[in-house]
Copies of this chain bind each other. A is one copy, B any other.
């Protein structure tokens, strides 16, 4: 509370009445005492009157003190109300969603944008752990994402700011929202007090939706999983004019799979045994992978991505600087052994997804993969 709330002003009128009442009461008491000098009860009455005068004065002073307090508190509250009104105006009229978590990861407050984005009533969000909100029955389950979120939350609890992209797929609809999230620890005297989460849906804007005819881009990326994930969202965000969102989501996942493969099995030459060993360690597999394997001459290797989009198709070419990753072996393995071996190798989400989504071709001894998706079936009007 600011100190000025406690400042009390007693009005001149109150002062005057206190003085007048006190003086006149005492005068009356003294006169009474003088007239009935011989009569003790006269003195009693004078004393009673004097006491009454004191009481009345103290009452008036106290009352004035309290009124002052009430007025200044009321003014303060009114000022704050204005401030809150402006702040709500700003917070609720933006594309950016804001969430404040307490130190247990529970939602303390958020803005309207978050509510709208999640499609859930306020009461389903307030006080809930963020993870529980994202794992809500409204959305399709995705254990991979849950893992990412938990992992990033762990980073924030350790005091690190973290940026990542998170996709939510709404059950029974083709609505998919990719959100660029940032989580920032808010500390007081070195202790984590709150976590500020802010985010913004990744989507193509009006000019892209209406006017883009085609685009292309080339990127040269380090062995950085989080950057590659972000790139996968960037390189799929302008497809909305040509593909339904649920499809875009699949393309995203497939692209992520290929990009992480390029780092893991391509540039960093991790084989099945190595992967199994690393996965048994405590912590996030990808963090451990980069920490253990992104060293020396391997760390200088790049992932080269080229992307092009036109009215007919989208094409991604991903090339790593590894010795050639044995795609064929894995593909054959799958065909021979059925899903079992394959799924075990890639731990759930794998090359299969990529094959279902894109037309694939390989070059450079397997270190270059070209993925093409034609739009003819799903052509959307602008």
Contact = CB atoms under 8 A, between A and B. Distances in A.
A59 B69 CA distance: 17
A361 interface: no
A218 B310 CA distance: 9
A271 interface: no
Interface string A137-159: 00000000000000000000000
Question: Which of the four size classes fits the interface of chain A?
Answer: 35 or more
Contacts of A207: 219, 227, 230-231, 234
A285 interface: no
Contact of A48 (B45, B91, B96): B45
B48 A52 contact: yes
A78 B2 CA distance: 10
A94 B91 CA distance: 11
A174 interface: no
A215 B215 contact: yes
What is the interface of chain A mostly: helix, strand, loop, or mixed? helix
A182 to B, nearest CB: 9
A100 interface: yes
A364 interface: no
Contacts of A220: 211, 213
Interface string A333-353: 000000000000000000000
B218 A215 contact: yes
A178 interface: no
A198 B90 contact: yes
A218 B214 contact: yes
A160 to B, nearest CB: 15
Nearest to A78: B1
Contact of A184 (B44, B67, B93): B93
A1 B80 CA distance: 11
Interface in A78-125: 78, 80-81, 83-84, 86-91, 93-94, 96, 98, 100, 108-109, 111
Interface of A: 1, 5, 36, 39, 41-42, 44-45, 48-49, 51-52, 55-56, 59, 62-63, 66-67, 69-70, 73-74, 76-78, 80-81, 83-84, 86-91, 93-94, 96, 98, 100, 108-109, 111, 184, 186, 194, 196, 198, 207, 211-222, 227, 230-231, 234
Given A59-B59, A80-B84, 11 more contacts: A45-B48, A48-B49, A52-B52, A55-B59, A73-B73, A73-B77, A77-B77, A83-B109, A93-B198, A211-B219, A211-B227
